[in-house]
C-alpha cells in the first residue's frame, strides 16, 4: 500500500470493520465477500498489507502465497467438496478494486457470469 490509511481488509483484521470471518490464523484471515458472486464467495487475505497483488506476493513471500492457497483449499473442502475457483484480480483494468492482495474463493453454481 502506498497510502498510510489502512486498507479496508486491514480494518477487518483489526475488527474496525465488521465481517463474517470464516477462518483466521496468525498470517491470514478469510471472510465472506460483502457482494457474493457465487453461492460460496470467500476472500482469503494475508494480514500484512505490504503486497498489493498476487505478483508482488509471489515474488516477496511465496510461502505466504502457498498458505493463502492452502487456506482456500481448506475452506473449499468444508464448503464445496474441495472444488473451487481461485481468482486474483491483478490491476484496475482486470477488476481489482482493493490493493491489498486477496484471493477470491468461488464455488457452488459457477458459470461464466460470475468470473468476476
Does residue 49 belong to the site contacting ligand 5GP (CB under 6 A)?
no
Burial class (CB in 10 A: 0-12, 13-18, 19+), 63: exposed
Does residue 13 belong to the site contacting ligand 5GP (CB under 6 A)?
no
Q: Tell me the closest approach of the beta carbon of residue 89 to ligand 5GP, in angstroms.
A: 3
Does residue 19 belong to the site contacting ligand 5GP (CB under 6 A)?
yes
Does residue 29 belong to the site contacting ligand 5GP (CB under 6 A)?
no
Q: Does 102 qualify as catalytic in the annotation?
A: yes
Does residue 33 belong to the site contacting ligand 5GP (CB under 6 A)?
yes
Count the residues of the shown chain that bind ligand 5GP, applying the rule CB under 6 A: 14
User: At 5, is the secondary structure helix, strand, or coil?
Assistant: coil
- Active-site annotation, residues: 102
Amino acid at each position: 500500500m502506498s497510502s498510510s490509511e489502512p486498507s479496508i481488509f486491514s480494518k477487518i483484521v483489526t475488527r474496525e470493520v465488521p465481517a463474517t470471518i470464516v477462518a483466521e490464523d496468525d498470517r491470514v484471515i478469510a471472510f465472506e465477500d460483502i457482494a457474493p458472486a457465487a453461492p460460496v464467495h470467500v476472500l482469503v487475505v494475508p494480514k500484512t498489507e505490504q503486497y498489493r497483488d498476487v505478483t508482488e506476493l509471489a515474488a516477496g513471500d511465496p510461502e505466504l502465497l502457498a498458505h493463502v492457497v492452502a487456506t482456500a483449499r481448506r475452506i473449499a473442502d468444508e464448503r464445496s467438496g474441495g472444488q473451487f475457483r481461485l481468482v486474483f484480480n491483478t490491476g484496475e483494468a482486470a477488476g481489482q478494486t482493493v490493493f491489498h492482495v486477496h484471493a477470491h474463493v468461488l464455488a457452488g453454481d459457477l458459470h461464466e457470469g460470475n468470473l468476476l
